[in-house]
Structure 1
Amino acid sequence: MSIRAASSDGLEPPFRRLRIYAFDPAASLDMRTAVINSATVTLPWEQLEPGPIGEYIEVIDVDPASGGFYLPVDLNDPALLVQDGFPPSDGNPKFHQQMVYAVAMMTIRNFERALGRRVLWAQRPWDWKTRETVDRYVGRLRIYPHALREANAYYSPQKVGLLFGYFQASRIDFGTALPGGTIFTCLSHDIVAHETTHAILDGMHRRFIEASNPDLLAFHEAFADIVALFQHFTIEEAVYQQISQLRGDLSRRSLLSGLAIQFGNAIGHYGALRDAIDSIDPATGLPDPGALDRAIEPHERGAILVAAVFDAFLSIYRSRVEDLLRISTGDGTRFPDSDLHPDLIRRLTKEATKAASHVLRMCIRAVDYLPPVDINFGDYLRALITADADLVSDDARGYRIAVIEAFRRRGIFPRDCRSLSVDSLLWERPDTRIEIDWLKEIDFPYITDRREIYETATRRCADLFNWLWDNARISHEAMRSMGLWLREDAPKTIRRRQKDGDRRPRRPAVEVHSVRVANRVGPDGDQEQQLIIEITQERRGYRTPEAQQQVESRGRVAGLTADFVFRGGATLIVDLRTREVRYCISKDIASTERLAAQRAFQFGADSEALGATYFGAASRDEPFAFVHRML
Structure 2
Amino acid sequence: MASYPVPPKRRLRVFAFDPSLTTRLDTVAINQLTLSVAWENLEPGPVGEYLEIVDVDPASGAAYPPVDLNDPYLLAQDGLAPSEGDPRFHQQMLYAVAMITIQRFEEALGRRVLWSVPRQGHAGPDRWQYVQRLRIYPHALREANAYYSPDKKALLFGYFNATPRQAALALPGGLVFTCLSHDVIAHEVTHALLDGMHRRFAEPSNPDVLAFHEAFADLVALLQHFSYPDVLRHQLARTRGDLASQNLLGELAQEFGQAIGSHGALRDTLGRHDPVTNAWHPVVPDPLALSQATEPHARGSILVAAIFGAFLQIYQTRTADLLRIATAGTGILPAGALHPDLINRLAQEAASAARHMLRMCIRALDYCPPVDLTFGDYLRALITADRDVVADDTLYYRVALIDSFRRWGIYPEGVRNLSEESLLWEAPTDEEATALANALGDAAVLRGLCPDWGLSSNRRAVFDQAQRNQEKLQNGLFDPPHLAAVRALGLTIGPEVPASFFPSSTFKGYPTIEIHAVRPARRIGPSGEVRTDLVIVATQRRRGYFDAATQAKVDQGLMEPPTADFIFRGGCTLLVDLDSGAVRYAIRKDVLSEQRLEQQRRHLQQQWIPAVRGTYFGSRGELKEDGLPEPFAMLHRQGAQS
**Is the structural similarity TM-score above 0.5?**
yes
The equivalent residue for 2:624 is none
How far 1:576 moved relative to its partner? 1.5
Q: 1:463 to 1:336 in 2, by over 3 A?
A: farther
Alignment partner of 2:632: what SS? Answer: helix
SS of residue in 2 equivalent to 1:523: coil
**Residue 394 of structure 2 corresponds to residue 374 of structure 1:** no
Match in the other structure for 2:362: 364
Q: Which runs of 5+ in 1 are unaligned?
A: none
Alignment of 1:572-583 (within 5 A): 572-583=574-585
Residue equivalent to 2:261? 268
Q: Could you say if the C-alpha distance between residues 354 and 606 of structure 1 is closer, same or farther in structure 2, counting changes exceeding 3 Å?
A: closer
Name 1:548's counterpart in structure 2: 551
Code of the residue aligned with 1:373 in structure 2: it is V
Match of 1:621 in 2: 629
1:117-171 deviation digits (Å, cap 9, x = unpaired): 101001135358x99x898111111111111111000001111011000000016
Conserved 8 A contact 1:175-1:269: no
In the alignment, is residue 483 of structure 1 matched against residue 477 of structure 2? Answer: no
Q: How does 1:310-389 map to 2 (within 5 A)?
A: 310-331=308-329, 337-389=335-387
Taking a change above 3 Å as real, the CA distance of residues 405 and 563 of structure 1, as seen in their structure-2 partners, is same
Q: Which residue of 2 aligns with 1:398?
A: 396
Is 1:446 the counterpart of 2:448? The answer is no
Alignment of 1:56-455 (within 5 A): 56-126=50-120, 136-170=129-163, 173=166, 176-278=169-271, 286-331=284-329, 337-431=335-429, 432-433=432-433, 434-435=436-437, 436-438=439-441, 440-441=444-445, 443=448, 444=450, 446-447=452-453, 448-455=457-464
Choose 582-591 or 617-626, whichever is displaced more.
617-626
For 1:4-83, what aligned pairs fall within 5 Å after superposition? 9-83=3-77
- Mark the CA change 1:329 to 1:172 in structure 2 (over 3 Å): closer, same or farther: closer
The answer (yes or no) to whether the contact 2:522–2:533 under 8 Å persists in 1 is yes
Q: Which amino acid aligns with 1:628?
A: H
Q: Single out whichever of 204-213 and 183-192 deviates more from structure 2.
A: 204-213
Deviation at 1:507, TM superposition (A): 1.1
Higher deviation after alignment, 508-517 or 161-170: 508-517
Q: 2: distance between equivalents of 1:187 and 1:245?
A: 25
Alpha-carbon shift at residue 498 of structure 1 (Å): 4.5
Amino acid at match of 2:139: H
Report which stretch shifted further, 333-342 or 50-59.
333-342
User: Which deviations, in whole Å up to 9, do the C-alpha atoms of 1:301-357 show, x marking residues without a partner?
Assistant: 100100111100000001111110111124586565532000000000111111100
Distance 1:61 1:334 in 2: 53
Q: Equivalent residue of 2:11, what SS?
A: strand
Q: Is the 8 A contact 2:371 2:569 kept in 1?
A: yes
Measure the CA separation in 1 of the matches of 2:606 and 2:259.
36
Taking structure 1 as reference, are residues 153 and 488 closer, same or farther at Cα in structure 2, changes over 3 Å only? same
Amino acid at match of 1:623: P
Q: Distance in 2 between matches of 1:524 and 1:618?
A: 56
Q: Hey, what's the Cα distance between the residues in 2 that align with 1:197 and 1:564? A: 27
Aligned to 1:517: 520
Letter in 2 for 1:546: A
Return the offset for 1:446: 3.2
Please, what TM-score do these two structures have when normalized by structure 1?
Answer: 0.93
Contact 1:175 1:268 in 2 (8 A): no
| Equivalenced residues, count | 616
Structure 2 contact 616–630 (Cα < 8 Å) conserved: no
Q: Could you say if the C-alpha distance between residues 299 and 332 of structure 1 is closer, same or farther in structure 2, counting changes exceeding 3 Å?
A: farther
For the Cα contact (< 8 Å) 2:270–2:283, is it kept in 1? no
Cα distance, 1:517 vs. partner?
1.4
Shift of 1:32: 1.1
| C-alpha separation in 1, matches of 2:293 and 2:202 | 19
1:493 matches 2:500: yes
1:34-74 CA-to-partner distances (Å, cap 9, x unmatched) read 10000111111111111111111111111111111111111
Inter-CA distance 595–333: structure 2 relative to 1 (3 Å threshold) = farther
Match of 2:465 among 456, 468, 474: 456
Per-residue CA distance 1:166-222 (angstroms, 9 max, x = gap): 000016555511110000000000000000000001111111111111100000000
Other-structure match for 2:625: none
The 2-side partners of 1:78 and 1:276 are apart by 42
Quote the Cα distance in structure 2 between the aligned partners of 1:171 and 1:111.
35
- Contact residue 52 and residue 98 of structure 1 kept, 8 A: yes
Distance 1:524 1:175, change over 3 A: farther
From 461, 466, 472, the equivalent of 2:475 is: 466
Could you say what secondary structure the match of 2:381 adopts?
helix
Q: In angstroms, what is the RMSD of aligned CA positions?
A: 2.4
Deviation at 1:612, TM superposition (A): 4.6
Structure 2 gap ranges (5+): 274-279, 622-627
CA contact (8 A) 2:220 2:358 kept: yes
Contact 2:512 2:540 (C-alpha < 8 Å) held by counterparts? yes
CA contact (8 A) 1:247 1:337 kept: no
